[in-house]
């Protein structure tokens, strides 16, 4: 029997020699159908060499993120792209869709539509009936979904990836209580109070402060609704009414407004906020923020994609919380990277 050449194999498969070379050496860039044709021809001709596995279309994964232009979501989007690139184009194709947090019905519709063309979903969404229904639909279609950053309890998802938001609030309360030794008032600012993550942070902070610092008066929570004008108005009013502000805790956006108003009132106090970015970094350097609690966006992206790929490729069934838990980072002026 004559030696089986690439030219002969190309003739048997009805393709070019370069295509045969790419398939046999697993270089990619060839359609699944053509790859299967080449490998089948090689097996039938008795090619005496190890053959790569039949080319499999890369996993199609869609990430649904908030359209909120906050630092966390901007960073998260780029982190997902970086992690996907590390896995390689032959293993997965990442699709990203941005949906306003105020449009849960639209998010639900997009999730259900994605089930027909995606192998798995990673979703940032809030605890709305429409999202629960979409998650039930996805599971019925056999499409695994990982929820991200803010929890949706009792939902039909593969697991949740994120920090423990209540624990983050308790950590902020612990740090605040250890910083304040005399009586005074603490102003609490929240992002949208109808969002579970912000409620959990406030609840955790309040519980820790009431237990550890009963000498401190917690003022009514200011809900800025993630609107800077509202935050500026509410915080300015609170500063004018307060008698002795010794601490400020902010769960969401608005640190620039806090900085401006503290400077205007010539006020120095313990400030604890969330996420390390240009504004909080500068406030840490200027001793205007004592602690920043950072969610660690890169860890969210890496962990969510790793768990989803393990599930798709091996059937791995993660614990709904333990396997997806991201460790909170406590940042001070001394340990900033």
Mean pLDDT of 257-270: 96
**pLDDT the model gives residue 39:** 83
pLDDT at 111: 98
> Shortest CA distance to 98 belongs to which of 119, 69, 118?
69
- For 274-290, the pLDDT digits (tens) are 999 999 999 999 999 99
The secondary structure of the chain in percent helix, strand, coil, rounded to multiples of 5, reads 45, 20, 35
> Both 262 and 197 in a single domain?
yes
**Pairwise pLDDT comparison (27 vs 161), residue with the higher score:** 161
Q: Which of 94, 151, 84 is nearest to 124 (CA)?
A: 151
Looking at the fold, whether 20 and 115 belong to one and the same domain comes out as no
- Residues 120 and 142 placed together within one structural domain of the fold: yes
Q: Specify whether 177 is located in the same domain as 266.
A: yes
Nearest of 128, 78, 118, 119 to residue 98 by alpha carbon: 78
pLDDT exceeds 70 at position 29 = no
Q: Answer whether residue 333 is part of any domain.
A: no
Both tokens assigned to 184 = 């005074």
DSSP 3-state assignment of 94?
A: strand
CB 275 within 8 A of CB 331: no
| Mean pLDDT, residues 249-276 taken together | 96
Statement to judge: residues 157 and 301 lie in one domain: yes
Residue 304 has pLDDT above 80, yes or no: yes
In a domain, 172, yes or no: yes
188 shares its domain with 277:
yes
- Assess if residue 287 is contained within a domain: yes
**Rounded distance between C-alpha atoms, residue 194 and residue 246, angstroms:** 27
Query: CATH no. for residue 301?
Result: 3.40.50.2300
Indicate if 288 and 178 belong to the same structural domain.
yes
Is residue 50, in this structure, part of any structural domain at all? Answer: no
Residues 254 and 155 in one domain: no
Q: Tell me if 332 is assigned to some domain.
A: no
Whether residue 91 is found in the same domain as residue 239: no
Per-residue model confidence as pLDDT tens digits over 70-79: 889 999 999 9
Same domain, 151 and 234: no
Decide if 331 is inside a domain.
no
Examine residue 1 and state whether it is found in any structural domain, yes or no.
Answer: no
Which residues does 236 contact at the CB level (< 8 Å), separation at least 6?
Answer: 261
Asked if residue 13 is part of any domain, the answer here is: yes
Backbone angles phi, psi at 68, to 5 degrees: -60, 125
The number of C-alpha atoms within 13 Å of 103 and in the hemisphere containing its C-beta is 13
Q: Based on the structure, what is the number of domains in the chain?
A: 3
Interacting residues of 184 by C-beta distance below 8 A, sequence separation 6+ = 216, 217, 244, 245, 246, 247
Q: Look at the block and give the residue holding tokens 């039938």.
A: 44
* pLDDT greater than 50 at residue 1: no
- Our CA dihedral for 64, 69, 73, 79, rounded to 10 degrees, sits at 100
Q: Residues 201-219: pLDDT tens digits?
A: 999 999 999 999 999 999 9
Print the domain residue range for 121: 59-163+297-326
155 lies in the same domain as 193: no
- Same domain? For 171 and 290 the reply is yes
| Rounded-to-integer distance, Cα 90 and Cα 160, Å | 26
Taking the whole predicted model, whether its pTM rises above 0.75 is answered as: yes
C-alpha to C-alpha distance for 34 and 333, rounded to whole angstroms:
57
pLDDT mean across residues, the chain = 92
- Share above pLDDT 90 across residues of the chain, in percent, rounded to a whole number: 75
């Amino acid at each position: 029997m004559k030696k089986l050449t690439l030219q002969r194999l190309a003739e048997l498969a009805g393709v070019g020699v370069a295509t045969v070379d790419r398939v046999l050496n697993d270089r990619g860039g060839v359609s699944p159908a053509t790859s299967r044709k080449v490998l089948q021809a090689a097996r039938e001709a008795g090619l005496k060499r190890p053959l790569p596995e039949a080319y499999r279309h890369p996993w199609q994964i869609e990430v649904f993120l908030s359209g909120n232009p906050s630092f966390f979501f901007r960073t998260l989007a780029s982190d997902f792209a970086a992690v996907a690139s590390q896995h390689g184009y032959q293993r997965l194709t990442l699709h990203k869709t941005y949906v306003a947090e105020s449009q849960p019905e639209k998010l639900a519709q997009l999730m259900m539509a994605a089930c027909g063309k995606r192998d798995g979903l990673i979703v940032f969404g809030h605890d709305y009936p429409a999202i629960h229904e979409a998650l039930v639909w996805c599971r019925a279609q056999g499409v695994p979904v990982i929820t991200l950053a803010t929890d949706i309890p009792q939902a039909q998802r593969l697991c949740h990836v994120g920090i423990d938001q209540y624990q983050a609030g308790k950590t902020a309360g612990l740090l605040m209580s250890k910083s304040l030794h005399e009586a005074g008032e603490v102003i609490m600012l929240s992002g949208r109070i109808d969002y579970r993550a912000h409620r959990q942070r406030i609840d955790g902070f309040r519980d820790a402060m009431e237990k550890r610092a009963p000498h401190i008066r917690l003022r009514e929570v200011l809900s800025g609704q993630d609107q800077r004008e509202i935050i500026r108005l509410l915080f300015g009013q609170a500063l004018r009414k307060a008698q002795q502000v010794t601490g400020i805790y902010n769960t969401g956006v608005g640190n620039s407004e806090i900085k401006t108003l503290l400077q205007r009132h010539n006020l120095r106090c313990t400030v604890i906020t969330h996420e390390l970015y240009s504004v909080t970094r500068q406030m840490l350097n200027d001793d205007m923020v004592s602690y920043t609690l950072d969610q660690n966006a890169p860890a969210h992206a890496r962990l969510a994609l790793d768990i989803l790929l393990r599930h798709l490729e091996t059937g791995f069934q993660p614990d709904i919380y333990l396997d997806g838990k991201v460790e909170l980072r406590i940042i001070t002026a001394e340990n900033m990277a």
